[in-house]
Structure 1
Amino acid sequence: MGAPFSIPPPVPRMWIAGALVSATGQAPVLNPATLTPVTTAPLATCDDLDRAVDGARAAQPGWANRSFTDRAATLGRMADVLIAHVEELAWLTTLEQGKPLTAARGEVMRAAGAMREIAGIEIPRQTIRSDATGRVDLIYRPLGVIGAITPWNVPLILAAPKIASALYAGNAVILKPAPTTPLASLRMGELWAQEIASDDLPPGLVSILSGGNDLGTWMTAHAGIDKISFTGSVESGKKVMAASAGTLKRVTLELGGNDPAILLDDVDIPSIVPALFGGAFGLSGQLCMGIKRLYASASIYEDVVAAMTAAAKAAVVGDGTDPDVTVGPVQNEAQYRRVLDLIEDTRRQPGVRITAGGRASERTGYFIEPTIVADIAEGTRIVDEEQFGPVLPILKYDTVDEAVHRANASEFGLGASVWTQDVARGAEIAARLEAGYTWVNSHVGTTRDLPFGGIKQSGIGRQGHFIGVTSDMEPQVIVIPAAGTADESRIQALEFSE
């Protein structure tokens, strides 16, 4: 298909303290479908970060003094900009990440929708106690400056809500996108800088810097950043937590998952296979909340394996700019090599069947054919580890209690699902699963008016909802003595935490 925008795209600029700037250092950004450079991206220096922090600290107090209504209006304008440029941002996302263009468009739209959802969350002034002695209120105050660090699988849908939550709570924010997928995020910053008036979005309130792992290290150690909101791997999250300890930064960590899906024996297999396949192989399996382990009752096991195998073989693997493609490449070489290593380790397991895929595609790029693994059990890497690629093990169970026990026997606890025609029974079983987010008869997908996050080693804290927004704030108790009628009416009028 013809390119709707210039190829290669222009080198993007960073948005630092209200100015769009280039950098002396540049790094190529590869298209994982072609292994050719899309363009180059700037590499921020430590001085660039210092300027961003100084700009954020200067802009934040005035922003914090604005009402939630005013801040929500600005978020709405920022969302409008994303929608107005959906085609350009989606094209960049596909070029740098590899996902099909339809999925990239959906990501841009969901990013805009997430900003609006966060802007609709109320943060009321709460009365803890009110009696003859007086009143005790609980309010929430902004933290100051939040550093947001995002991964390479869904760059915009993870960046936009972090920015929105920080701003809605009255903070300034500095975003660092993943070094392999910085382009759409940087372009988002350029568009906001060019199309939103400085009266609405004060200079310095948002900065977007690109760079390698050293930039993330500088952010977590910087004394001028009050919190890190991080999405990424468990091992990287541990490093963020350790590095943040020196300044007692607050942290929200959305980390990896090894999400189980349990199929009860009453499911209608043909009707659920499309959703199961999408939940496991959407974004080529590179989704933290995606299905990583599929448990099927022994009575339906072979039918499930056959149906999922057929779906995997029918998938169209290729460059995401091709409208017929349903499964794109793995995003980067390191992950590509890791997934292939997991498949080879699986192949060596006695009695295991690989019923679809099981190999790299012959075409240029980081392509792996959608892979179905049957007759596998816990104690193998493909089951115990998060694959984060187009590979799905299907496991057999005899009783529901057994399935729940095995699903819970993991160091991860991000998402989980139960599939059944008995919805009430499904809800009961879902409540027994050790995960931060569970579904009945679906898997994958959330909105930012709901709290999302994991338990165990899948993370700390939540994003979205009142819980997530107030994690970007500090609670403050105000003890008010009994007052006269006039003062009391003024106190009662205090509804929001400003």
Structure 2
Amino acid sequence: MATSDTYARTRRNSLTESLLGILGPMPKQSSGRPATDGEGRLLVDGELVESSSGERFENVNPATGEVVGQVADGSVADLERATEAARRIVDTHSWSADGPFRRHCLEQLADAMDRHIVTLREALVTELGSPVRLAAGVQVDPVPDKIRHIARLAESVTDTTEMPDDARGPVVQGRRIEREPLGVVGAITPWNIPLDIAMAKVAGALAAGNAVVLKPAPDTPWVPALVGRLAAEETDLPAGVLNIVNSSDHSLGARLTADPRVDAISFTGSTATGRKVMAAAAGEVKKVHLELGGKNPSIVLDDADLEQVVPLAAALGCFNTGQSCILPSRLLVPAARLSECVELAALGMESVTVGDPWDGGTFMGPLVSALHRDRVLAAVSEGLTEGGRAVVGGSEPGVGPGYFVRPTLVADAPEHGSLVQEEVFGPVVALQPYEDLDDAVRLANGTRYGLAAYVWSSDEQRAGAVASRIRAGMVGINGGLSTAADMPFGGVRHSGVGREWGTAGVEEFLELKSIAVTRFV
């Protein structure tokens, strides 16, 4: 028994180091303590301002439950002013016609973010509870280069395409296709990845020549407000091109969606809210881009090295405390080796280090709020009531003063039960056995979602064949992820409409115009 315990402990330690390696190295520049002076003003028509109402709301550190600052609570009047400023730019300014200037401004913003990267990173760790290594490796530090990639597209995305002449007897039609911006884009962003997601929308829309009104989630307000300060103080962005209105009033998002001055809405959030956004936009028949939820399968094929793959595949469901729409929340394993896979998956979940996000040895921090913690625990409790079995973790909160939960692995969850069918948005993984390859694909496609999927195999060609059968916008093979600046990000079915990042992410914010000129010969 002692030998077995020693082996398990050694294996857990090795897995923990592997997981921390995925986050990246500990950043050299870090104070190691929560920020206390984050930006709290709105960016409206080029000015950094307090709310017109004078109201502010509290920003809370989820690792401790303590209030760390105050943020201007944007009002209807502030949103009105921001929307009017964006409309003015679209209707009267040369912004949309000057691709080189748009590139210049976006590159200025990226450079400013690099100069203030520690401030941005520490604000995110403080208000989201993201481990500092995750913030540096994924959440914050890569974003400036992603913006630069999009900035380079600003000079070419609106190029005209000349088409071959259409000759019809004595008449010739000269033809071309022009690309032009949509106009005013309303961007509504979530709290879980507050910088990257906001910049996917802002950079894509601005590169295409639009003006933007950004309504961030109130749970993580400092990061977008800091972007507003950098835009106002360290770039040549014309006043009104970018407006950022933090608010605790969720109805502002609905107001922005229905506003006839707004030509398009780009929303990231839950599928339930996405449906409401689509319905609200229908009254004005405006373009809608939606990046919604996921219930993503991770399929371990029977030829994979189970001992190496299963623990890692399970533990990845705890990345960002499970608060990401693309994470694997369903682990599909061969039924013939179910008992072994349950043990290996449990080992993986037990290798996840939970605690202080400023500690370089922490893989998983707290959930973003007490409200969200209670939602996650209630979802787990419901799943256990339906017949699921908690192998690791469960429906009790984690330790500490903040909003912590335990990594949770659930076996025996019914195929049509809530833990298999509904997004939990926490570090909860449901393990499902499959009989054969066809059954694995059936289970993978057995939810209403279609955002991401993962396939693990020693045979890349076989894994690719499985990937082609999965209904999802993105598939990672043996740990691959489609999250680079030049790769389109998005899903199908109830996971959304449209794409972010890459050329496709800029083209989302463009309209096509066909022009034909008749010439008599």
What is the TM-score with the length of structure 2 in the denominator? 0.87
Change (3 A) 1:129 1:400: same
Determine the C-alpha separation between the residues in 2 that align with 1:421 and 1:2.
39
Cα distance, 1:278 vs. partner? Answer: 5.3
Cα distance, 1:293 vs. partner? Answer: 0.7
Q: Structure 1: which amino acid aligns with 2:110? A: A
The answer to whether the aligner puts 1:95 opposite 2:126 as a matched pair is yes
3-state DSSP of counterpart to 1:109: coil
Equivalent residue in structure 1 for 2:70, among 40, 44, 51: 40
**1:418-433 counterparts in 2 under 5 A?**
418-433=455-470
The answer to whether the aligner puts 1:12 opposite 2:26 as a matched pair is no
Determine the C-alpha separation between the residues in 2 that align with 1:6 and 1:179.
18
Change (3 A) 1:483 1:301: farther
Q: Structure 2: which amino acid aligns with 1:249? A: K
Query: What residue in structure 2 maps to residue 129 of structure 1?
Result: 164
Query: What residue in structure 1 maps to residue 393 of structure 2?
Result: 357
Q: Structure 2: which amino acid aligns with 1:129? A: P
**1:130-145 counterparts in 2 under 5 A?**
130-132=165-167, 133-145=172-184
Pairwise CA RMSD: 2.1
Determine the C-alpha separation between the residues in 2 that align with 1:414 and 1:181.
24
Cα distance, 1:292 vs. partner? Answer: 1.3
Deviations 1:88-120 (A, max 9, x none): 111111111111011112311232222122223
**1:305-316 counterparts in 2 under 5 A?**
305-316=342-353
Cα distance, 1:470 vs. partner? Answer: 1.8
C-alpha contact 1:31 1:37 (8 A) present in aligned 2:
yes
Cα distance, 1:274 vs. partner? Answer: 6.5
Q: Structure 1: which amino acid aligns with 2:145? A: G
Q: Structure 1: which amino acid aligns with 2:354? A: V
Runs of 5+ consecutive residues of structure 2 not aligned to the other structure: 1-28
C-alpha contact 2:383 2:417 (8 A) present in aligned 1:
yes
Determine the C-alpha separation between the residues in 2 that align with 1:10 and 1:89.
9
The answer to whether the aligner puts 1:118 opposite 2:150 as a matched pair is yes
Equivalent residue in structure 2 for 1:28, among 53, 58, 61: 58
Cα distance, 1:202 vs. partner? Answer: 0.8
Equivalent residue in structure 1 for 2:141, among 109, 116, 121: 109
Q: Structure 1: which amino acid aligns with 2:135? A: A
Determine the C-alpha separation between the residues in 2 that align with 1:131 and 1:308.
62
Runs of 5+ consecutive residues of structure 1 not aligned to the other structure: 485-498
Query: What residue in structure 2 maps to residue 434 of structure 1?
Result: 471
Determine the C-alpha separation between the residues in 2 that align with 1:286 and 1:320.
15
Equivalent residue in structure 2 for 1:146, among 185, 198, 203: 185
Query: What residue in structure 2 maps to residue 162 of structure 1?
Result: 201
Determine the C-alpha separation between the residues in 1 that align with 2:201 and 2:38.
26
Change (3 A) 1:84 1:278: farther
**1:365-380 counterparts in 2 under 5 A?**
365-380=402-417
Deviations 1:11-51 (A, max 9, x none): 51111001010121111111111111121111111111121
Query: What residue in structure 2 maps to residue 67 of structure 1?
Result: 98
C-alpha contact 2:315 2:352 (8 A) present in aligned 1:
no
Change (3 A) 1:50 1:177: same
Determine the C-alpha separation between the residues in 1 that align with 2:428 and 2:32.
32
Deviations 1:400-445 (A, max 9, x none): 1011112112111111121111111111111111111112222544
Change (3 A) 1:126 1:10: closer
Change (3 A) 1:213 1:443: farther
Q: Structure 2: which amino acid aligns with 1:94? A: V
Q: How many pairs does the alignment contain?
A: 480
Change (3 A) 1:399 1:304: same
Equivalent residue in structure 2 for 1:181, among 203, 212, 220: 220
The answer to whether the aligner puts 1:288 opposite 2:320 as a matched pair is no
Determine the C-alpha separation between the residues in 2 that align with 1:354 and 1:67.
58
Which range moved further: 474-483 or 103-112? 474-483
C-alpha contact 1:83 1:108 (8 A) present in aligned 2:
no
Determine the C-alpha separation between the residues in 2 that align with 1:300 and 1:116.
47
Which range moved further: 215-224 or 162-171? 215-224
Cα distance, 1:163 vs. partner? Answer: 0.5
Q: Structure 1: which amino acid aligns with 2:340? A: D
3-state DSSP of counterpart to 2:362: coil
Query: What residue in structure 1 maps to residue 293 of structure 2?
Result: 256
Determine the C-alpha separation between the residues in 1 that align with 2:40 and 2:380.
37
Change (3 A) 1:223 1:318: same
Equivalent residue in structure 2 for 1:407, among 444, 453, 457: 444
Cα distance, 1:2 vs. partner? Answer: 8.7
Which range moved further: 286-295 or 448-457? 448-457
3-state DSSP of counterpart to 1:180: coil
Determine the C-alpha separation between the residues in 1 that align with 2:39 and 2:95.
33
Determine the C-alpha separation between the residues in 2 that align with 1:202 and 1:5.
36
Determine the C-alpha separation between the residues in 2 that align with 1:287 and 1:14.
26
Determine the C-alpha separation between the residues in 2 that align with 1:384 and 1:334.
22
Cα distance, 1:217 vs. partner? Answer: 1.8
Cα distance, 1:322 vs. partner? Answer: 2.2
What is the TM-score with the length of structure 1 in the denominator? 0.91
C-alpha contact 1:26 1:40 (8 A) present in aligned 2:
yes
Deviations 1:273-316 (A, max 9, x none): 56524531110111101101110112343333222211211222
Equivalent residue in structure 2 for 1:302, among 339, 353, 369: 339
The answer to whether the aligner puts 1:331 opposite 2:331 as a matched pair is no
Query: What residue in structure 2 maps to residue 490 of structure 1?
Result: none
Cα distance, 1:166 vs. partner? Answer: 0.7
Determine the C-alpha separation between the residues in 1 that align with 2:303 and 2:229.
52
Determine the C-alpha separation between the residues in 2 that align with 1:305 and 1:263.
12
